[in-house]
Structure 1
Amino acid sequence: MEDNKWNPLSVEEIHDLFRTIPISWWIAGGWALDLNVGRKTREHDDIDIVIVRDEHLTLQAHLHNQWDMYKAIKGQLIPWDKDEILQVPIDSIWVKKKGDKVWAFQVMILDTEGDEWEYKRKNTIRKPIKDIGLCSPTGIPYLRPEIQLLYKGGSSVLRGKDTVDLENVLPLLANSELRWLKDSLAEQFPTGHQWMDQLVK
């Protein structure tokens, strides 16, 4: 992305900002996995939040006075006009404080059907929206670890930090979470995935 310079908000700052907005939201990315582990396991260059598509205009209405928001389209960042509905496949919003030149956080939009979340890379992989998140002891919502690991493992480029995240979280996964992750990766990658041998207990 152009001008990819970050001074990300902390998890606590995101919580303070988002808890005043009447939408469902969850910390995502590496920070979600660290919230699950209960400690910071590595450095993070940015911070991601996920929301459901039906609520993206509510988010905009609450942020537009103090924040500049851009939609990511084919590697470019384009200003998100007020009251502009973002249709599929647009699913990424970059946000910075008005007047700042660095990004503060990124919002990813989740697609849903009825009361179910749909995995964007294989829409037969689903969970009830009410079951996609957990909450930290301090009340911070975050994406369930098996879902976040699916997003990482299901990417077209598997990064070193993704494997590190898997190794940090794997011992903490319940058998049901591990089985769901393994089954979901198998559904997306029927010819095999390099994590499969690790997804055993």
Structure 2
Amino acid sequence: MVRLFSGLPCPWWIGGGYAIELAVGRSFRPHGDIRRPVHELGMTSADGVPYLAPEVQLYYKAKAPRPKDEEDFTTTLPLLTDDRRDWLAGAIPLTYGVNGPHPWLTRLRRADNR
């Protein structure tokens, strides 16, 4: 990651559990990381505006969905490609499946939503 970002002409930092490990000076727990190639994290609108890929934003909203997050999910779901839908369906239970199945998983996996 350092090699990837070191040439950027703007400030950057490491976040999450890795930031804690850097502060402590050692790795001390598994992270259960959700991986996504950097080039798949963003998209560009028809007007040239860069934005976070919708499945990545929905992943963050999935932690504790509010009514507006449910609306975002319902509106975006039909627009997700199979690959984007599959990524989100795999990422949610890895992170948020501790307390049972996530309510979005059934809808993500239903073929008639595609």
State the TM-score, normalizing by the size of structure 2: 0.66
Going from structure 1 to structure 2, the CA distance change for 1:54 and 1:193 (only over 3 Å counts) comes to: farther
Aligned residues: CA RMSD: 2.7
Residue 43 of structure 2: aligned partner: 134
Q: Percent identity?
A: 31
Are residue 185 (structure 1) and residue 89 (structure 2) matched?
no
Gapped regions of structure 1 (runs ≥ 5): 1-52, 60-84, 90-110, 112-121
Deviations 1:30-66 (A, max 9, x none): xxxxxxxxxxxxxxxxxxxxxxx8699825xxxxxxx
More strand by share: 1
**Mapping of 1:157-196 within 5 angstroms?**
157-188=64-95, 189=97, 191-196=100-105
CA distance in 1, matches of 2:10, 2:72: 32
Q: Which amino acid aligns with 1:194?
A: P
State the TM-score, normalizing by the size of structure 1: 0.39
Gapped regions of structure 2 (runs ≥ 5): 20-30
More helix by share: 2
CA distance in 2, matches of 1:56, 1:159: 35
CA distance in 2, matches of 1:124, 1:146: 16
- Give the match's secondary structure for 2:69: helix
